[in-house]
Amino acid sequence: MSESREELQVRETNPAADDEETRKENWKKKIIENLSKVDQTKYKIFYPENEILVEGEFCIYKVPDKLRQVKVDAYRPRVVSVGPLHRDSVDNLAPMKQYKWFYMMSFFQQKVVQDPEDPKYRKCAEQQSRKCLEDCTEAIYGLDRVVRQCYTETIKYTEDELAEIMLLDGCFILELFLRFDRSLNYINSDQYKSDPCTESAWMIAALRHDLALLENQIPFFILELLYEAIKPYVIKCKLPKSVTSLALKFFQPLSLKQIKEETGSLEFKHLLDLLHKFYFLSIDDVSIDIDKESSPESECSGLLRKIKRKIKQTSCLDPDHDQSVEPASDTKWGLNHCASQLLESGVELKVGTSTEDNLLKITFKDGVITIPQVLIHDTTSSLFRNLIAYEQCSLGSTHGVTSYAFLMKSLIRSSEDIKLLRRKKIIKHNRIGDKQYLTEFKNILDEVVVVKDDFCFGKLCEQVNEYRNSWYNWFRLQVLLRVQFQRQKRILCTTYFSTTWKVISFMAAVALLLLTSLQTYYTIHPRH
């Protein structure tokens, strides 16, 4: 349709209107072009009906810069890169590539039934290795879209390159776990001596550190698929039913919780998520302050609130953003008094002895705080930092590890508190001194952004603070008298019985006091 005479006159008299219309049309085209580039397969889209249109879930994140700046080494691999994020970023990881290929070759070369002296043995072994390789590649090839959904960062590698990364790193991890568990007799003693990974204590510690990094992960289902593919070919030893128990045996334990085969029934996203759920599971058993929805109709609104909360937390990590939510402090998240102050005021501390309890199973009853024993190793600080970063980035997290860290930090404020918890066997150190512990865990919660309602021990802290302020409680009076008696006894022993000369001096003083008393008595009451 031709333009009217009035519109033409307006355009002739006002050329700026034509330019504005052109810019508007160009802007619309640009918006449509950008929308067409959005990869919808990477995101879950939630609607009010709680309908998931596209499958996919982020679980491997990039650590926020503010957390990384607190301690860079805690999030950076030392010897080996796993997954695509650090594959070509650090030069010192290059020497480990040859060992990863060697481990993958060993992973495929399983023993055959024939006698090694048989001439057909070598040919049969080669055929079996090739068949094992084909089964493993068939198990994971074609999962490119699903694998990319697990990473928040855009993967620059092609489909074949990413599949090679998953195959190489997955085989390396499984071969490492199998070699490390010597009770399986997966390899003979000569192979152990020639293996630099399993024979070196420093290398094992570095590998534990690297495999528990948030950015150094591959999806857990890759390990499960490869493990199921290799099972029929392993005849030299009896493998565990699941890869979960095999993986947990590799990492140093954080608590006394026993490793069971039933753990394999749970779903894990990666190795760090495995440690997170194993040691900090059953969070419903803890008094959580998060609002729980009572009806199925309100599930979507609760989910939307979590999304808004996570967006709010993410914005607080932006250095250019006006932070409306301040990082939590010990006064908001934690106890008002440290361990030694609580004990002196009549609150007893006790170690949990159950091998079934997770680290969040902290209870308070009759003036006694029961805390499961935590085992501190050289890599514990890095592990806690990555677990906290995982909770900071994860949308559905309930901040269990973060809550635990805040609670323990409020209990431990000096070396006296560490000595008290070690004496109570709540903390068990492994070649780590009290000063080093305070140094490692001093700034572990710096730049951590949390919401007040996400603190898992809010009710427990309220109960402890209320109990400490009460003066009429009989249990508190008993504990207070016992603590004061033990304190005076400790002061007496430190003052008069710490050295041999002090003991001799004390005994001489007592003898002199007795003789003086006898002399005084007989002076007043002379013998007839």
Q: What is the pLDDT of residue 16?
A: 65
What is the per-residue pLDDT across 213-225, written as a single tens digit (0 to 9) for each?
A: 999 999 999 999 9
CA distance 448 to 313: 10
Q: Report DSSP state, residue 336.
A: S
Cβ atoms of 393 and 317 within 8 Å: the answer is no
CA distance 263 to 277: 10
What is the per-residue pLDDT across 279-295, written as a single tens digit (0 to 9) for each?
A: 987 544 443 333 333 33
Transcribe 453-484 into DSSP letters.
Answer: GG-TTHHHHHHHHHHHH-SS-HHHHHHHHHHH
> Once rounded to an integer, what is the mean pLDDT over residues 488-517?
78
Cβ atoms of 176 and 200 within 8 Å: the answer is no
Identity of the amino acid at 422: R
In this structure, how many other beta carbons lie within 10 angstroms of the beta carbon of residue 44?
A: 13
Place of tokens 């808004």: 308
Taking the mean position of all CA atoms in its chain, how far away is CA 496? 47
Of the listed ranges 221-235, 255-269, 510-524, the one predicted with least confidence: 255-269
What is the per-residue pLDDT across 386-409, written as a single tens digit (0 to 9) for each?
A: 999 999 998 766 789 999 999 999
pTM of the model: 0.76
Return the higher-pLDDT residue of 303 and 373: 373
* 282-314: b (≥16 Cβ within 10 Å) or e: ebeebebbeeeeeeeeeebeeeeeeeeebeebe
* 345-370: b (≥16 Cβ within 10 Å) or e: ebbbbebbeeeebbbbbbbbeebebb
What is the per-residue pLDDT across 26-42, written as a single tens digit (0 to 9) for each?
A: 777 776 677 666 555 55
Identity of the amino acid at 285: D
Transcribe 60-127 into DSSP letters.
Answer: B-PPPHHHHHH-GGGGS-SS---SSTTTTT-GGGTTHHHHHHHHHHHHH----SS-TTSTTHHHHHHH
Cβ atoms of 281 and 262 within 8 Å: the answer is no
